């Protein structure tokens, strides 16, 4: 098992993940705003009362109900799959308890308590946390490209970005659960 003597590396990675997640959630809301026929402050108020699962479900509903371009629909639905995968990883990282040595060195594992009260250890090396941050940033970039396409198509301008030509990024990897060893 790896030990990282720099106690702050883990905390810094978790902090960055929280910030990137907040931005990603904002990007999701921006996709939804495109389909609401209310002022921006009203749309923001609507989304402010939703949790992240409800926001994703609401955006899915809005796209399914109002988007007429099948390629844009496909991109948003793919983004929502990415978002949901990242949400699962985020919940492990942000709500789990890091495994630490008595001196505070991070042991590359996060312990998450499931709904049954069972302790589940997850492999979360510094490299895994860095990859998670990279996935969050890539998802944000993808959301921005989709939003840009939606805005251009809504303005009836010639599309600078053809939805058919935008590549769909792969789904991020799930954080892997380790086999739990009872002593």
Name which residue leads in pLDDT, 24 or 130: 24
Edge-to-edge strand list for the sheet holding 97-100:
97-100, 106-113, 119-123
* Phi-psi sector, 156: left (phi>0), alpha (psi -120 to 50), beta: left
In a domain, 179, yes or no: no
**Tell me, what's the pLDDT at 1?**
52
Higher pLDDT, 126 or 5: 126
Mean pLDDT along residues 109-133? 88
- pLDDT winner (highest mean) among 9-23, 31-45, 70-84, 167-181: 70-84
Interacting residues of 109 by C-beta distance below 8 A, sequence separation 6+: 1, 98, 99, 121, 122, 123, 124, 178
The number of folded domains in the chain is 1
**If you average pLDDT over residues 158-164, what whole number do you get?**
61
Residue 40's pLDDT is what?
A: 86
pLDDT at 120 over 50: yes
Highest mean pLDDT among 4-8, 45-49, 92-96, 138-142: 138-142
- For residue 148, is it within any domain? yes
Residue 135 lies inside a defined structural domain of this protein? yes
Quote the domain boundaries for residue 120: 7-154
The predicted pLDDT at position 159 comes to: 52
Rounded distance between C-alpha atoms, residue 129 and residue 107, angstroms: 13
């Amino acid at each position: 098992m790896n030990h990282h003597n720099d106690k702050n590396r883990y905390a810094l990675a978790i902090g960055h993940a929280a910030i990137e997640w907040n931005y990603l959630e904002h990007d999701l809301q921006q996709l939804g705003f495109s389909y609401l026929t209310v002022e921006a402050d009203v749309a923001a108020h609507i989304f402010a009362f939703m949790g992240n699962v409800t926001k994703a479900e609401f955006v899915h509903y809005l796209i399914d109900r109002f988007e007429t371009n099948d390629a844009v629909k496909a991109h948003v639905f793919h983004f929502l799959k990415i978002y949901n995968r990242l949400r699962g990883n985020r919940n492990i990282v942000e709500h789990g308890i890091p495994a630490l040595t008595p001196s505070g060195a991070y042991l590359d594992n996060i312990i998450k308590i499931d709904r049954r009260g069972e302790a589940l250890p997850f492999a979360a090396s510094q490299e895994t946390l860095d990859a998670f941050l990279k996935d969050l940033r890539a998802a944000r970039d993808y959301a921005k490209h989709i939003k840009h396409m939606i805005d251009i198509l809504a303005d009836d301008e010639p599309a600078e970005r053809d939805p058919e030509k935008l590549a769909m990024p792969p789904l991020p990897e799930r954080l892997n659960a380790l086999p739990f060893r009872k002593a």
